[in-house]
């Protein structure tokens, strides 16, 4: 069995919502964060799509994944 990959979306777009999320989830992967220039949009998108974390600052978004990779 392949390990589950965790993904972060950079952009809260319709394409990611309707194409990327379903494809990643079908493959057994998890989307754990979303980044948007608007904090409100990021939080709304995350809640609507069962994504645990939402960010509006790229540094905080990247820091989350840097800690996991080390």
- Asked if the model's pLDDT at residue 6 lies above 70, the reply is yes
CATH of range 6-69; options 1.10.260.40, 3.40.50.720, 3.40.1380.20, 3.90.950.20: 3.40.50.720
Non-local CB neighbours of 8 within 8 Å, separated by 6+ positions: 31, 32, 33, 34, 35, 61, 64, 65
The pTM assigned to this predicted structure is 0.85
18-61: pLDDT as tens digits: 999 999 999 999 999 999 999 999 999 999 999 999 999 999 99
């Amino acid at each position: 069995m392949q390990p589950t990959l965790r993904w972060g979306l950079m952009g809260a777009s319709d394409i990611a919502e309707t194409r990327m999320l379903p494809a990643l989830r079908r493959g057994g992967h998890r989307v754990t964060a979303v980044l948007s220039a608007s904090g409100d949009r990021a939080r709304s998108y995350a809640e609507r799509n069962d994504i645990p974390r939402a960010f509006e600052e790229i540094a905080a978004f990247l820091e989350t994944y840097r800690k996991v990779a080390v």
